[in-house]
Amino acid sequence: MVLSQLTPRYRVWIRSRIPPEFFNLFLPPPFHLDPMDVDAGCVQQDAVHVDSQASFGYLEQFCNHTERVLRQEAEWLEHQEVDLVISDTPSLPLRAAWERGIPRLLISNFTWYDIYSHFPGHARYRKLLDPMRTDYSRATTQILPQCHIQNDYVEHQEETGFLAVTGKEIRNELENHLQWPLTGKTLIFIYLGIAGTASLDWEHLGRMGDFLFLTRDPLPQTVPNLFVLDERFRYTDLIASCDLVCTKAGYSTLATAFAHGKPVLSCSRDHFFEFQAIRRYLESREVGRIINSHRFYTCDWEGDIKKALELNVKGRVPLNGEHKALQIIDHLLSG
């Protein structure tokens, strides 16, 4: 994790709505955290589908306050004597830094412009999207981790290996907690998030007695081989301890899975442009398996799980992108 390498060496401020508990888990002090909305994000219709119209609605609301927020941010950057602004996808920090002449580093495998500009009906929102594209073009450098969407509006780009938060193997701890012998068992970690998981036929997993399914998602607890765990078990540790990760194919989950040599099972995501890049990557590198969304919702996964378990991740994906990212950060700060 790049941030964990920065806090011991530099004075670091984080402006985000991500709960402080996340940063406290992974970042050594000192660092400053200010709660703040920095982008509009996307609205999930269910576990795998995005509600594009609702997402545009949120974007409009966010942009109504952009000019006021930009003035405040530009003044804040100057007051704090900030030397470098790093954005994990949002465009607003890049513009605020540009207005104060501060170097700007974008670290992301996609931009929100990439996503929004491929939603159905995007042409009606050009007045929101064109300025966003311009803001991204003002990045001094963009670090492109693996599974990235190539763009032509950020002039200076650097490709790196995956940037991942890693965990530790805890199978013995899991065995004690579950009161279930795990020797010789295949563990599958399910991570879909909290949206729309009720629409999947989870009872079908009970027919796959050779597999044990673990999750932190709010899933039914009536399936004998599906275990819903609480916050005592970190996502990263569960990924490190399983044999296969079943996910909607978000970047951070893939990065952690591959950092631990785990193949992935995922499903198609219509109208979410990042998924096209992820599909190409998984299929060309043979490190993951994609199933159509209809079969995914039925949880009829047994055949696909067996095929995914045959995949070998080791040596097939570039890792440790943090090293190159830190070199780029040091270079920007030394300039």
The answer to the question of residue 166 being in a domain is no
Are 51 and 144 members of one domain?
A: yes
Reported as a single tens digit per residue, the pLDDT across 185-237 is: 999 999 988 766 777 899 999 999 999 999 999 888 789 999 999 999 999 99
The answer to the question of residue 104 being in a domain is yes
Are 283 and 325 members of one domain?
A: no
Give residue 97's domain range: 37-161+320-334
- CA neighbours closer than 13 Å in the CB half-sphere of residue 109: 23
Whether 2 shows a pLDDT value over 80: the answer reads yes
- Domains: count for the chain: 2
The answer to the question of residue 87 being in a domain is yes
Distance CA 289, CA 308 (A): 6
Distance CA 255, CA 290 (A): 16
Are 53 and 152 members of one domain?
A: yes
Reported as a single tens digit per residue, the pLDDT across 6-58 is: 989 999 999 999 999 989 988 888 999 999 999 999 998 877 788 999 999 99
**Cα 220 to the center of its chain, rounded Å:** 25
Reported as a single tens digit per residue, the pLDDT across 98-126 is: 999 999 999 999 999 999 999 999 999 99
Distance CA 268, CA 258 (A): 19
Reported as a single tens digit per residue, the pLDDT across 240-281 is: 999 999 998 889 999 999 999 999 999 988 778 888 999 999
Residues 177 and 185 sit within 8 Å (Cβ to Cβ): no
The answer to the question of residue 294 being in a domain is yes
The answer to the question of residue 120 being in a domain is yes
If we measure between CA atoms, which residue out of 215, 218, 280 comes closest to residue 249? 280
Q: Cα Rg for the chain, rounded, in angstroms?
A: 21
Distance CA 259, CA 161 (A): 10
Are 157 and 199 members of one domain?
A: no
Domain containing residue 283: CATH number: 3.40.50.2000
Are 84 and 195 members of one domain?
A: no
